[in-house]
A and B are shown apart, each in its own frame.
Chain A
Amino acid sequence: MINTITSLQLLRSVFNPQEIFSGLAGTEPAPGRILLRYTLWLLLLPPLFSLIGGYTFGWRLGAAQPLMFPVGTLLLISVAYFIVLVFGFVSTAIISRWMASTYGASDALGLHFALVGIVGEPLALASVAHLFPDVFFNVLVMIPAMIWSMYLLYTGIPVVLGIPPERGMLMASSLVGWLLVAAVSLLGLTMGLWVAGVGPALAV
């Protein structure tokens, strides 16, 4: 039994998830500790890579010339990106815990933080593609990462939260619904910020 997970375990969970999932099952790690010590740095990676990539190469959306931005604008975008990711991480963990009673799963908040951290990790690591912010290249890299994340979600929930696989499937599908909504919200929020003048100059 372990009461928390280490950064090394978190990394290993990407490639050998079952062992880490089994180790987490039945424990009650502290949510704040999971967030501040083990997952915050993962959430920092995408905005950081995005900042470096945007400054070095500009946004490449397929057209001939990349969109180049001043450092201030890029910093603003990265800070907003980070805030949204932290909000997304915490809200997903809280919603997962909220769903737990419906599916008879463990309601230890720390477990949900750890689970969401592990599930999101492939996406955070794959965000290294942001270093070259060509949209299509990023789509190609992120799709396999997303598939792996979904695999971790579907296989992790029953083991970590101690419920039968069929119930886990239902809970994972409900969370997928929430994550899809969160993803599209991120798009909508981004459009709103662009139109409000944060980011690229648009003729609106």
Chain B
Amino acid sequence: MATTQQYYYDNVVKQLVLFSVFWAVVAMAVGVYISAELIWPTIDFGQPWLSFGRLRPLHTNGIIFGFGVSALMATAFYSVQRTSHVPLFAPRLAWFICYAWQLLILLGGLSLLAGWTSSKEYAELEWPFDIAIAILWVSFGIIFFCTIARRKIKPIYISNWFYGALIIVIAMLHIVNSLAIPVSLNKSYSIYAGAQDAIVQWWYGHNAVGFLLTGGFLGMMYYFLPKHSGRPIWSYKLSVVAFWAFTYSYIWAGPHHLHYSAIPEWVQSLAVVMSLILLAPSWATMVNGVMTVSGAWEKLKTDPALKFIVLSLAFYGLATFEGPMMSIRAVNVVSHFTDWTVGHVHSGALGWNAMITYGTFYFLIPRLVGAELYSVRMANAHFWLALGGTMLYIISMWAAGVSQGLLWLSVDETGELSYSFNDIMASMAPYYALRLVAGLVFLLGTVLMAWNFYMTIKGRETVKMQPPPLDPVYGVATGGATRPAAGAAPGIAAGVTS
């Protein structure tokens, strides 16, 4: 039973949020730099470590594992305490993970610059880092699940199901995909070969998108959206159904990255079918989010954070529609390998992941330090910069991608290809210039946010918050009530009372 001496461990949450913002600025700046390299290739100055091939994985790993995972750890630690009404399990281990993860990102990033790579997309880090990731990830799971195991509330709130799926599935994907035979400190060879290697890699790659960039961030949404809007989830049942449908169907979809390749055709077809089915739970979740926030419109007057969350749901709807559509062979044959794919990834990464995280951070930071946000005006400016940057990015990559797909496949009356690859790529410079502007605009907004947070927390300590002594709806001491009170979804307990 909670005592009055117990406090939530929020210092580690604040630290992880700050690391996440730091990596956002660094990794987005690297993204801007490599987008400039595609226009002016000589700005690598002949240095291998500045080449596109080395900076690109630094950009993707920095965003996914630096910005994304730090944000997910921060929000998981924050929300699991409040939805379980107990302080974090093993806080020292949490501090260790917090700093060890950042060290791993730093050293891993340097190793990528040095040319160490497994050459597997989103899993480029070599075997010593893979082992470290596995250890830290399992430790993350121990803290999370042990906190849940000690909970004072019987139901496990839906956000914890998503965070739990993130932890379990990413551990499974990472360990299986990274199995390799080391030949030196900086080189290993995958135990898989040929088509099997490709299938395992995209089983990992697509589900890293699914369970980390989608599932993990849905966990964030399911806790912070109701909390922020002061309303329970619109339909708690729908959220549970969507969770299981999402978990079941996502895991099959990876081979749609391998259309028209050497893998069996039935595997490709199965991936298309599962990708299309995936639209249902994805949009169910979007509708649930939109309907939850729809009743909290008054808050938009004063709250810049809610705008980010509202818009992130629109981009979530776009990205989760576009993905299944691009898995259809008739579309994929044109879109694959083009910049349309890059645009699709960024509609999710900028429009969904970054915006839901920004909205959550604008909610969290003032509460963590017990102060008003330094500048609401600056946050509003950030919103429009983020929206403008994302739209410009998507549109420029749509136009570039469709042009590339069309030109690459165009044939003349004799059946010969009409255009050379080099000529087509050389003609893409104007689109890349637009994309560079888009990236700069988005990065500027992120820098404004970082400054806003710095000024908000400057000289302030983390507020100490206690778990409520007894949960009013689900407390175990109430006689083991396990069902919601009439008209009350579990979201009420998690979203409002704590």
Partner among B307, B318, B399, B412 whose Cβ is within 8 Å of the Cβ of A135:
B399
B144 to chain A, nearest CB (A): 31
Q: Does A72 contact B (CB under 8 A)?
A: no
Q: Would A170 and B410 count as touching, CB distance under 8 A?
A: no
Selected from A102, A136, A164, A178, the residue in CB contact (under 8 A) with B291 is: A102
Report the separation of the CA atoms of residues A166 and B300 in the bound assembly, to the nearest whole angstrom. 6
A169 to B294, CA, bound (A): 10
Contact B317–A194 (Cβ < 8 Å) = no
Judge whether B314 and A191 touch: CB under 8 Å.
no
Q: Is A1 among interface residues, defined by CB-CB distance under 8 A? A: no
Q: Are B407 and A63 in contact (CB under 8 A)?
A: yes
Which of A14-22, A124-132, A181-189 sits within the interface? A181-189
Question: Are B424's CB and A188's CB within 8 A?
Answer: no
CA distance A200 to B334 in the complex (A): 12
Interface size class of A (residues with CB under 8 A): 35 or more
Judged by a CB distance under 8 angstroms, whether A91 is at the interface is no
> Which residues of chain A have C-beta atoms less than 8 A from B326's C-beta?
188
Stretch at the interface among B147-155, B426-434, B473-481: B426-434
Interface size class of B (residues with CB under 8 A): 35 or more
Question: Whole-angstrom distance between the alpha carbons of A146 and B431 in the complex?
Answer: 17
| Residue from A164, A184, A192 within 8 A of B321 (CB atoms) | A184
A63 near B424 (CB under 8 angstroms)? yes
A83 an interface residue at 8 Å Cβ cutoff? no
Q: Binary interface profile of A, 119-154, with partner B (CB < 8 Å = 1, else 0)?
A: 000000000000000011011001100110000000
Taking a contact as CB atoms under 8 Å apart, the answer to whether B331 and A191 are in contact is yes
Interfacial chain A residues near B395, Cβ < 8 Å = 139, 142-143, 146
Residues of A contacting B396 with CB < 8 Å?
139
Q: A102 is contacted by which of B294, B409, B415 (Cβ under 8 Å)? A: B294
A93 to chain B, nearest CB (A): 19
User: B322–A184 contact, CB under 8 A?
Assistant: yes
Whether, in the assembled complex, A177 has its beta carbon less than 8 Å from a beta carbon of chain B, the answer is yes
- Smallest CB-CB separation from B416: which chain A residue? A203
Q: Does B333 contact A204, Cβ atoms closer than 8 Å? A: yes
0/1 interface trace, chain B 252-289, chain A, CB 8 Å (1 if under): 00000000000000000000000000000000001000
The verdict on A191 contacting B297 (CB below 8 Å), with A173-B310, A200-B406 known, is no
Q: Mark B411-446, 1 if CB is under 8 A from A, else 0.
A: 110010111000110011011001000000000000
CB–CB B314/A200 < 8 A: no
Count chain B CB atoms within 10 A of each CB in A138, A142, A143, A185 and give the residue with the most: A143
What residues on A are CB-neighbors of B430 within 8 Å? Answer: 62, 136
Which of B325, B335, B410 is A67 in contact with, Cβ under 8 Å?
B410
Q: Is B405's CB under 8 angstroms from A191's CB?
A: yes
B334 contacts A62, C-beta separation under 8 Å: no
> How far, in Å, is A133 (CB) from chain B's closest CB?
12
Chain A residues within an 8 Å CB radius of B423: 63-64
Q: B301 in the interface, Cβ–Cβ < 8 Å?
A: yes
Residues from chain A with a CB closer than 8 A to the CB of B417 are: 203
- Closest chain B residue to A193 by CB distance? B330
* Pair B325/A184 contact, Cβ less than 8 Å: yes
Known: A170-B300, A181-B317, A202-B411. A62 touches B328 (CB 8 A): no
With beta carbons under 8 angstroms apart, the residue of A63, A65, A139, A164 that contacts B399 is A139
Residues of A within 8 A of B434 (CB): 139
Chain A CB within 8 A of B402 CB: yes
Question: Given A174-B290, A200-B406, A191 and B330 touching (CB < 8 A)?
Answer: yes
Contact A188 B328 (CB under 8 A): yes
Complex contact B310–A170 (CB within 8 A) = yes
Assembly CA distance A184 to B395 (angstroms): 10
A28 CB to closest chain B CB (Å) equals: 25
Q: Beyond A143-B395, A180-B318, is A192–B331 a contact (Cβ under 8 Å)?
A: yes
What are 30 A-B contacts with C-beta separation under 8 Å? Answer: A61-B427, A62-B427, A62-B428, A63-B407, A63-B418, A63-B427, A64-B419, A65-B419, A67-B410, A103-B294, A139-B431, A139-B434, A166-B301, A169-B310, A170-B310, A173-B310, A173-B313, A173-B314, A176-B314, A177-B314, A177-B315, A178-B317, A181-B321, A187-B340, A187-B402, A191-B405, A192-B331, A195-B330, A200-B410, A203-B410
Residues of B in contact with A (beta carbons under 8 Å apart): 286, 290-291, 293-294, 297-301, 307, 310-311, 313-315, 317-318, 321-322, 325-326, 328, 330-331, 333-335, 340, 347, 388, 391-392, 395-396, 398-399, 402-403, 405-407, 409-412, 415, 417-419, 423-424, 427-428, 430-431, 434
* Residues in A lying within 8 Å of B, measured CB to CB: 61-65, 67, 102-103, 135-136, 138-139, 142-143, 146-147, 164, 166-167, 169-170, 173-174, 176-178, 180-181, 184-185, 187-188, 190-192, 194-196, 200-204
> Could you list 9 further interchain pairs (A-B, Cβ under 8 angstroms) beyond the known A181-B322, A184-B398, A203-B417?
A62-B403, A63-B419, A67-B406, A136-B430, A169-B300, A191-B333, A192-B328, A201-B412, A203-B409
